[in-house]
Structure 1
Amino acid sequence: MEAQVTKASVSPSPWSPASDASDVVKGIHAMLHPRNIVLVGATDKPGNYAERIWNNLVKYGYEGGLYPVNAKREAIWGITCYKDFASLPEKPDHVLVLVPARFAVQVIRDAAAAGARSATIVTSGFSELQDEESQKLAAELQQAVRETGLAVTGPNCLGNLSAGEKLFTNIDDRVVTMEQGAVAIAGQSGAIVMAIRQALEDRGVGVGYMVTTGNEAGLETPDLMRYFAADPSIRVIVVYLEGVRNTKAFRDACKVARAASKPVIALKLGASEGGRAAAMAHTGALAGSIETFDAIATREGVIRVRGLDELIETTECFVHAAVPKADRLAAVTLSGGKRGLLIDAFHAAGLNFAPLSKHVSGELAKMLGPGSIVGNPLDAGFAAVVDPSVYMKSIKLMIDDPDIDVVIIDAELPKAPHELRERNLRIVDGMASRAGKPVIYISAMSIGFTEFTKGLRKSLPHIAVMQGLDRAVTAIKSLLDYARLRKEVPDIVSGSKASARAVLEKTLREAQGAALDEVASKKLLKAYGIPISKEGIAPTPAEAIKLAKQIGFPVVAKVVSAEILHKSDIGGVVLNLNSVAEVKKAFNDITARVKRLKGKPKLDGILIAQQVKADLELLVGASLDAEMGPVVLFGTGGIDIELLKDVALAGAPLDEAEARALIGRTKAGVKMAGYRGRPALHQASAVKALVGLSNLIADAGDRIASIDINPFLINPKTGVAVDALIVLNNAAAKRAARH
C-alpha cells in the first residue's frame, strides 16, 4: 500500500478573520482554509464524483490531511479508507458529502458531533426536485445545518476552489492554475461558475476563490460576498444569481463590499413572474425583477452584466484598471478608421472624449509636425511611420496629463514574442503604475490568447487588456459609474410620522377586497404627505352638484369602486364638467355604465374632483418585488404609459436627494426642468410625492402589492395626485391581522 496522503495541519493562511468577525465569516474561512478534508462516500467506481474530486486534490497538491470514508471499504485509491469519523487519525475539519441524499442529513449531524467546522454537500436530490420526499429531505437538511452551525455549501453543487491552499474540491478536469488571484467567484450554478473561472484563466486573470453554492441550504451567496469583501487578497467579487432569497442579506453584503472598495459584478437570471403576477396596477406591470434588481443593486454598487462575455470583459477591467477620479477620456490609435469606431462606440454609450489640454495639444502638434490634425482620439498612425517614437511619446503625454482620467490605447497583445511590442507594453504598464489612473488596451475584435499571450498578460498587472469594442465600452462605462458612487451610503429609513403609520394600520385593518377604492387610497396617500386634488364622494346627483359648486368648475366625475381597477376603460371618468347639468348627466351616465358591467361590481358612489390644469401627466408608483422588496417608480403617465415606458425605478424608502435623482433619469424629468424654453414645472411636489410614497410602501412591509398614482398632474405652480389605486397583498395583510 502506498504511503498515507495525510498531514496534520497546513501552513497558516496569510489572512484570517478578525476575532470579532461573524460566525458565518469564520465558518467560510474554515471551509476555504481547512486543516483536513474528509470524503464521505468515497468510491473508486470509474468517473464518479468522489474519485474526480480526490484526483484533483492530489494532483494540485493540497497539503492538509486527506481522508476517504466508506464503511464497506478498508482501502481505496491505494490508501487507508476509514469506516467513520471516529476512526480518523484526527478530528474532521471540512467534510465532502458524497453519499445518497437520504443519508446526507445524518452525515452532517455526525460530522458536527465529531468536530468538523464546515461541509460541502455535492449530493443532489433535495429542493431542486419537486416530489414530496425530496422536499422533506431539503427541510430536514436545513434544520440540521441550523442546529449544528456548520458552514455548509450545497447540496447539489460541484465543489470549491481555494487557490492559495491548493484546494480544489471540484469535479472539473480542466487545468487550474493554483495562484492566489484577485477575483473571487460564487454562484448557484456549478457549471456556469466553473465556466467563468475557466474563461478568466484563459485570459490570464487569476481566480483566488471559486465557490458553487447549489441549493444554498446553508451558506448563501451574500455570505460569500461578505467573506470575499473582508479578504485583502480579493479585489473583485463575481456572482451568478438565479434568485435573491434574502433581500436584506444581499443588500447588506453589497454595502460591505462597497465600503471595502470591492465591486460586485453580477450575472443574474431574468424577470420574476411572481413579481408581475402580484400586481394589478400599471406599476406592477412595468416593474420586472431585472429592472427592480438594477434599481436596488446599482444603488449598492453592483454592476450587473448581461452575459458571460460581458462579465469577462468587465471583470478584466475592474481587476486591472484603477478607479478613475472623473470621466475625462483620451485615446491613442494608429488608424483613422479605428479612431472613427472608437468615437461611435463611446458616443453610443453616452461617453465622449474630452478636449485635450493646451499643453498636450501643443506638444502633440510639435511631434506630429505642420499640417497635422491633433484630436481626441489621436490618430498617430502616419506620424508614427515617419518616427516610431511618436506613438509612445503620445501615450506618455496623456498618461501624465492631470486633466485626463482614463487613457485608452487601440492595440492587442501579441500572440508570439515581439521585442518592440513587449517592451512598449512594459513601459506603459510602468507608466500606469506610477500615474494611478486607468490605462486600457482595447482590441476592436475578440482575439484568442496563446500560452505566450497569457503569460505576457500576467506580467502587466497595471493595464487592462480588453477584447471586443462594444463590450469594452460597456465595461468602461461601468467603471466610470462605479467611480461616481459614494463609498458608503447610510441606510435610509422611513421618515413617516406616527400619525401616518396609524392611518396605514387602520386602513389595512378595515380593508375589504383586493384593492382600496380611490377614496380610501387617497386618504392614505394624504396622510403620507402626498398632494391630493380637492374632491369628495357623492352618493346622489344632488350631492354631486353640491360638491361641484363647493370645489368650483370645471370638475371631473369618476366612478368609485374597489372592484373597478381602471376607470377609464369602462367609461368611468368624465372630464371638463362646467355646469350643474353636465355634472348631473355625468353622474347618471357613469352609474348606468356600471350597472351594465358583468359581475355587477359594487358602486360606492361618484367622486367629484377638482380638474387641475396640467402641463404634464406623471406616473408616481410603488411595487413590492417578489425578490428585491419595495421599489418606487417615476415617469411619464397618462394613457400612453405602456407605449412610452418612460419609467425609472429606485429602492424604497428614498430621501429627497434620491427622489430628485430618480426624476432626473427620465424624459419627464427633462420636461419638468423647462424643456425648449418652456417654464419649469413644480418639481418639489413630485419630490414630496415620491418620498411620501416610498415611506408608505416601506412601512407597509409585504401587505401592499402596488400603489399606482396615475396621473399625477403637474404645472409650474403645483402638482397633485388626481387618481390612485392601492392593490393589497391580502394574504400578508390577513397574516399580520392575526398577530
Structure 2
Amino acid sequence: MQNATAPRPQTKASLERLFNPRSIALVGATERSIWSTAAYDNLMRFGFSGKLHFINPKGGTFFGAPAATSCAATGEEIDAALLMVPESKMAEVFDDLEQAGVCGSVILSAGFAEVGESGADRQRRMADAARAAGIRILGPNCLGFANFVASTPIWTTPLRRPMANPNVALVSQSGSVASQLEQFAYQQRVGLTHMISTGNEADIDVADAIEYLARLPEPKAIALFLESVRNPARFIDAVKAAGAAGKQVVVLKVGSSEAAARAAQAHTGSLVGDDRVFDAMCRQVGISRVHSMEELVVTADLFARLGPVRGKGLAVSAMSGGLCEIVTDQAEAGGIPIPQLAEQTTGALRETLPALATPANPLDLTGAAMLQPELISRTLATLAGDASVGILGFMFEAPLKEDKRGAARMFIKHVGEGFKTTGKPCLMMSSTFSAVNADARALTEECGVVYSGGGVRHCLSAIGHLLRRGEWEARQTRAAVVAASAQVAGGRPATERQVLDYLAAQGVPVVPASIVDSADEAVRVAASLGEPVALKILSPDIAHKTEVGGVVLNVRGNDAVRTAYDRIMASVSAARPEARISGVIVSPMRTTGVELFVGTLHDPQWGPAIVVGLGGVFVEALKDTSMRLLPISEQDALAMFDELRGRALLDGFRGAAAVDRQALARVVVDIGQAALALGPDLVSLEINPLLADGVRIEALDGLTEWSTVNEQA
C-alpha cells in the first residue's frame, strides 16, 4: 500500500500497469448505467482473468458480486480504475485511489475542458491532484482502452471479441470514432492489438500512446484519428520511435492548422491553406496521411501485413479488361506508377497467354483463365520478374462461403502459388468494397494470399502509401539532416537589398545589383552592365513594388533608363507619398529560366516551415506549392520539386534549358538555413522569384516580415 504523503513517480511502468492491469476497479459501478454495464460485459466477453472490484459508496451487490464502498476498503492493491463518477467527486476519488495503490485511471466523466474555460480549470485541478498522487489519467471524456492481446478492456461501449493474430493498434482522440473504427476493422477482419481513446488528454496524450505501442511486439502498424496535436515536438518524437521500431503510423486528421490566419499578411501564410503545415510534417517524418475511416483501416492493415514497398511501381492482373481499365484510371489519378513492362517480360507473357490476350500492365487474363486457372500463377511469376515492378496485385473476391464446386478455392490456390514464386509483396484485392468474414480470411491465409476487401479505390490508395513510404525510407538512408545555423548578428534585413545581401552572405546566389539615387547614376550603372536592365524601387515601407508602379523591366538605352527611373519615382510618390525611399535598384535583366517562389513561415504549433512553388505572379494564381518543416535536407528539397504540378517546367519544357535540380535543392536548403539563423521573431522570408536557368540559379527579389517592429529599418 502506498503512503499518501509520498506521491509515486509517473513512469513508463505505470502505463504498463494501466494498459495491462492484473486488477481493475469499476468505480461507480451500477447495473443501472449503460456505461457500467458495457464495461462489465466487455470484461466478461474478453475473458479477463485478473481480479475485478466493484466500487460504490453505498455498497450493495452488482453483477452478482458484493461492492466495496471505496478502493481502499478492498484491502488490495489495484492496478487500474475506471472512474464513472461525477466531476464534483473527483478530488475525493483520487485520495481513495492513492490509498489503494492505483497506478492509472480511465475517466469516462465529461464536463471538463470540452465545455469551456471553467471546465478547463477543473480539468487542470484534477490533473494536478492526479499528478501529486502519482496516478496516470486517460481522459477525461473518453471511452477508455482495450488491450485485445491481453484480453483486457476498460471500455464503456460494446466491443467484439478479440481476433486471432492481431497486428494493428488504434489510437483515437474521439471515443465514438474509435468505436466505429473497431466495428469496421472487425467487418474487414483486421485484428486490433490495442485501442486507446485519449479524450481530453489531461495527462496521457496521443504521443504517450504511440510511444507505449512502439515498445510492444504485437502492433505492426498504428492507426491514428486526430482532432489536434497538443505537443508537436513530442508527437514527432513518438512517430520517429514507432518508425525505428518498424511500425508505420497512418493518420486521419480533421481540423486545420491556423498558420494562414496567424502569418499576418505574408504571402507564404496565405499560400499554405488550413492544413498544409500538418501535411508537410507528415511527408517529412514519414507518416501516411489518409482521408477517410475506411482508408485508415485498409492502409494500416496492409502496412501491418506487407510493410513498406521498395520498388518502382505496381503490376496488376485480373480476369476482366474493364477492371484493368478502372485500375489504370484510378492509379493515374492517385499518382501510383503502373510501369510499362520490359520487352523481355512481354515476350515471356506472349508465350503463356492465349492469342486473344495482350501482354500489358494491367494484364487482362481474359476469360481464358476461367478454363485455365494455371494462367494466374504463371503470369504472376512472370510479372514479378520485371525490374520495374515493386508490388503485385490480383483482382478477385474471396467468397464469404465456400461454393459447392470449390471454384473460388481453386482460383485463390493458383493466386497463392503465383505469389509464392515472386519474392515481392503481393495483394489480392476485391474489385468492390466487400466484407471479409472468418471463412474468407481462413481460405486466403490457407492459400498463402494476403487479401483485402477494400475494393479498387482504397486498396490502390493503400498501395500508394506503401510505395511512398518505401521511397521515403530510401531517401532517409541518403539524406543528412541540415542543422540549424546559429543566430546571425547585425540586426534584421528589411529592405530588398538588405535581404539579398544577407542571403548572399549565407551562400545563396543572388542577382548582381547597384543602388542609385539619381537618373544619371542609373544610366551610368546600366551602361556598365552592357545589357538590358531592370529597375526597382527600394523602400523599407513598400513590400510589393509592382502594385505602386515601382518596377520597370527590360530597359535598353540611356534615354529609356532615364525615363524608367523618373517614372518609378513619380509613380511611387503618387501612390505612397509617406514611404521612405532608399533609392532605385539597377540589375541585369534576366529573360530566360523558370521563376520559382521560396518562402518560409513560422507556424504557431509546428514551428518554422518552408514552401516552394512556381514563382512570379503564378504563385498566387496557381498556388502550386510544396511544404516541409525546417530544417530540410537536399533530398527533402528534391522531393518537394517532384510534388509540384508544374514540375515539368524544371526539365526543359518546350526546348528551355533543364534546371539543375541538385543545385536548386542546395539553394533551397541554404535559404531554409538562412531563415532559421534569423531567429524566432522572423515571421516570413520570401524569395520571389528565385530564377533557375540551367545551372544558373539566382534570387532576384527578397522580402522579410517580423513579429515586432524593426527599429533599424
What TM-score do the two structures reach when normalised by structure 1? 0.85
The 10-residue stretch of structure 1 (678-687 or 259-268) with the greater mean CA deviation from structure 2? 678-687
Q: How does 1:154-169 map to 2 (within 5 A)?
A: 154-169=139-154
- Summarize the Cα distance change of 1:369–1:658 in structure 2 as closer, same or farther, 3 Å threshold: closer
User: Does residue 269 of structure 1 match 2:254?
Assistant: yes
Q: How does 1:103-502 map to 2 (within 5 A)?
A: 103-104=89-90, 107-108=93-94, 110-112=96-98, 114-130=100-116, 132-177=117-162, 179=164, 181-348=166-333, 349-355=335-341, 358=344, 361-362=347-348, 364-369=349-354, 373-395=358-380, 398=383, 405-418=390-403, 419-425=406-412, 428-429=415-416, 432=419, 436-449=423-436, 452-453=439-440, 456=443, 462-486=449-473, 494-495=482-483, 498=486, 501-502=487-488
CA contact (8 A) 2:687 2:699 kept: yes
The 10-residue stretch of structure 1 (262-271 or 392-401) with the greater mean CA deviation from structure 2? 392-401
Q: How does 1:682-693 map to 2 (within 5 A)?
A: 683=661, 686-693=664-671
Aligned-residue sequence identity (percent) comes to 27
Q: What corresponds to 1:55 in structure 2? A: 41
Q: What corresponds to 1:720 in structure 2? A: 698
- Summarize the Cα distance change of 1:127–1:572 in structure 2 as closer, same or farther, 3 Å threshold: farther
Q: What corresponds to 1:5 in structure 2? A: none
Deviation at 1:216, TM superposition (A): 1.3
- Summarize the Cα distance change of 1:264–1:546 in structure 2 as closer, same or farther, 3 Å threshold: same
Q: Give 1:613's aligned amino acid.
A: R
User: Does residue 646 of structure 1 match 2:619?
Assistant: no
- Summarize the Cα distance change of 1:64–1:296 in structure 2 as closer, same or farther, 3 Å threshold: same
Deviation at 1:173, TM superposition (A): 2.0
Task: Tell me the SS of whatever aligns to 1:155.
Answer: coil
Figure out how many residues of one structure are paired with residues of the other and give that number. 699
Structure-2 separation of matches of 1:542 and 1:368: 80
Q: What corresponds to 1:15 in structure 2? A: none
Task: Tell me the SS of whatever aligns to 1:195.
Answer: helix
CA contact (8 A) 1:184 1:234 kept: yes
Structure-2 separation of matches of 1:368 and 1:497: 61
- Summarize the Cα distance change of 1:688–1:377 in structure 2 as closer, same or farther, 3 Å threshold: closer
Q: Output the aligned Cα RMSD.
A: 3.4
- Summarize the Cα distance change of 1:724–1:332 in structure 2 as closer, same or farther, 3 Å threshold: same
User: Does residue 507 of structure 1 match 2:491?
Assistant: yes
Residue by residue over 1:437-486, the C-alpha shift from the partner in whole angstroms, topping out at 9 and shown as x without a partner, is 32212222223445644654676675132432122211111111112232
- Summarize the Cα distance change of 1:671–1:490 in structure 2 as closer, same or farther, 3 Å threshold: closer
Q: What corresponds to 1:4 in structure 2? A: none
Deviation at 1:490, TM superposition (A): 9.2
- Summarize the Cα distance change of 1:502–1:327 in structure 2 as closer, same or farther, 3 Å threshold: closer
Q: What corresponds to 2:5 in structure 1? A: none
CA contact (8 A) 2:223 2:297 kept: no
Task: Tell me the SS of whatever aligns to 1:192.
Answer: helix
- Summarize the Cα distance change of 1:150–1:609 in structure 2 as closer, same or farther, 3 Å threshold: farther
What TM-score do the two structures reach when normalised by structure 2? 0.88
Deviation at 1:305, TM superposition (A): 0.5
Structure 2: tracts of 5 or more residues without a match: 2-8
- Summarize the Cα distance change of 1:491–1:679 in structure 2 as closer, same or farther, 3 Å threshold: closer
Q: Give 1:564's aligned amino acid.
A: I
User: Does residue 91 of structure 1 match 2:69?
Assistant: no
Structure-1 separation of matches of 2:695 and 2:33: 78
Deviation at 1:581, TM superposition (A): 5.7
Residue by residue over 1:38-70, the C-alpha shift from the partner in whole angstroms, topping out at 9 and shown as x without a partner, is 2233344343x2333233223332222222333
Deviation at 1:537, TM superposition (A): 4.7
Q: What corresponds to 1:620 in structure 2? A: 598
Deviation at 1:232, TM superposition (A): 1.1
Deviation at 1:709, TM superposition (A): 0.8
- Summarize the Cα distance change of 1:341–1:667 in structure 2 as closer, same or farther, 3 Å threshold: closer
CA contact (8 A) 2:531 2:589 kept: no
Q: What corresponds to 1:635 in structure 2? A: 613
Residue by residue over 1:279-311, the C-alpha shift from the partner in whole angstroms, topping out at 9 and shown as x without a partner, is 422221122353322322223221100111222
The 10-residue stretch of structure 1 (615-624 or 575-584) with the greater mean CA deviation from structure 2? 575-584
The 10-residue stretch of structure 1 (577-586 or 477-486) with the greater mean CA deviation from structure 2? 577-586
Q: What corresponds to 2:585 in structure 1? A: 608
CA contact (8 A) 2:374 2:414 kept: no
Deviation at 1:142, TM superposition (A): 4.0
Structure 1: tracts of 5 or more residues without a match: 1-7, 9-21, 735-739
- Summarize the Cα distance change of 1:269–1:678 in structure 2 as closer, same or farther, 3 Å threshold: same
Q: Give 1:437's aligned amino acid.
A: K
Deviation at 1:545, TM superposition (A): 6.3
Q: Give 2:628's aligned amino acid.
A: A
- Summarize the Cα distance change of 1:370–1:51 in structure 2 as closer, same or farther, 3 Å threshold: closer
CA contact (8 A) 1:535 1:607 kept: no
CA contact (8 A) 1:356 1:375 kept: no
Residue by residue over 1:589-613, the C-alpha shift from the partner in whole angstroms, topping out at 9 and shown as x without a partner, is 4455455558x65424233131331
Task: Tell me the SS of whatever aligns to 2:149.
Answer: helix
Structure-2 separation of matches of 1:188 and 1:460: 38
Deviation at 1:233, TM superposition (A): 0.9
CA contact (8 A) 1:183 1:209 kept: yes
- Summarize the Cα distance change of 1:322–1:530 in structure 2 as closer, same or farther, 3 Å threshold: closer
- Summarize the Cα distance change of 1:347–1:542 in structure 2 as closer, same or farther, 3 Å threshold: closer
- Summarize the Cα distance change of 1:379–1:323 in structure 2 as closer, same or farther, 3 Å threshold: same
- Summarize the Cα distance change of 1:113–1:529 in structure 2 as closer, same or farther, 3 Å threshold: farther
CA contact (8 A) 1:25 1:223 kept: no
CA contact (8 A) 1:533 1:609 kept: no
Deviation at 1:343, TM superposition (A): 3.0
CA contact (8 A) 1:154 1:216 kept: yes
Deviation at 1:213, TM superposition (A): 0.7
Structure-1 separation of matches of 2:542 and 2:137: 50
